[in-house]
Amino acid sequence: MFDDRSILVTGGTGSFGRKFIRTLLARHKPRRVVVFSRDELKQYEMQQEFDAPCMRYFLGDVRDRERLVQAVRGVDYVVHAAALKQVPAAEYNPTECIRTNVSGAENVIHAAIENGVQKVIALSTDKAASPVNLYGATKLLSDKLFVAANNITGNHATRFAVVRYGNVVGSRGSVVPFFRKLIADGAQDLPITDARMTRFWITLQQGVEFVMAGFERMYGGELFVPKIPSVRIVDLAKAMAPQLPHRIVGIRPGEKLHELMISRDDSLHTLEFPDHYVICPSIRFVENRDYARNGRGERGTPAAAGFKYSSDINPHFLGTEEILRLNAVS
């Protein structure tokens, strides 16, 4: 699907962007791969590793609509991964988070339609479902913008979809590298926000695979949610350092005890597939689309009444061996 195509990744120098591009180059022969990000040092470092003839590097910010329109010219597919995503930082700097996550989403939509991009997938987060923090609220707004964008494309063929998943094992700013550093530095205990806390758990590679599959599955308007395991934070700490005691430090600003990916209200519009869910748009589009059969030919069925997909009632919780195995590939 990606052979002889041009692909742009916003936030392309981040954890996801690097893994996505590494996988893309290993499996396909794209015509052009555009890394769009605002950090010149990260772009310089990335150029040392990703120097294939198809690679292009654009300095720019998703807040800058004009620059984004320039970068997207001639692009077939866009992966929108750029975001401000640290929950406590967003609580203290709300306007900056809104400018990047909401205004940036509007600019990506505008640039894609303006340039006749074929497909756009925006990355979301479990924190966007019934959000209690500003980061989650901005990503919910972003999700709504991308879904609704399918109604404003006019004669353009551009289609938009969203991928929502949970905590990425080992990503920058996440708990696994934080614990690793404490253990390596000889910590006497591991700080735990709350012993009851649970999180959805996915590796970076699994996230990349799910996004790539999304381009094949999508018609436009879907919100894709993978079926992934949960982890108890105390189990994670015990697996990484069974010899260390735990110190309860309290929940950080904006945090939840448990994460939610599909609420009971969203379940009314949710289809269940063998390895994922699809939240169908609640608004009507000009075109009638049968979301129960996706672009891969996979078939889904309506979710059970009152269904919700929450990290504390997930049927699959990771044990010690699974935690260590996933941590090893992060």
Segment 12-48, tens digit of pLDDT? 999 999 999 999 999 999 999 999 999 999 999 999 9
Q: What is the per-residue pLDDT for 328?
A: 85
Rounded to the nearest 10°, the torsion over CA 155, 163, 313, 87 is: -120
Residue 330 pLDDT > 80: no
Residue 170 and residue 178 in contact, taking contact as beta carbons nearer than 8 Å: no
Residue 257 and residue 197 in contact, taking contact as beta carbons nearer than 8 Å: yes
4: left (phi over 0), alpha (psi -120 to 50) or beta: left
Catalytic machinery residues: 127
Write the DSSP symbol of residue 179.
H
CB atoms within 10 A of CB 155: 5
Segment 217-265, tens digit of pLDDT? 999 999 999 999 999 999 999 999 999 999 999 998 889 999 999 999 9
Q: pTM value? A: 0.95
The full set of domains in the chain, from first to last, is: 6-167+204-220+261-300 (3.40.50.720)
Distance separating alpha carbons of residues 261 and 264, to the nearest angstrom: 10
User: Distances in Å between the alpha carbon of 93 and those of 89, 106, 155?
Assistant: 6, 20, 39
Residue 68 and residue 62 in contact, taking contact as beta carbons nearer than 8 Å: yes
Rg, C-alpha atoms of the chain: 20
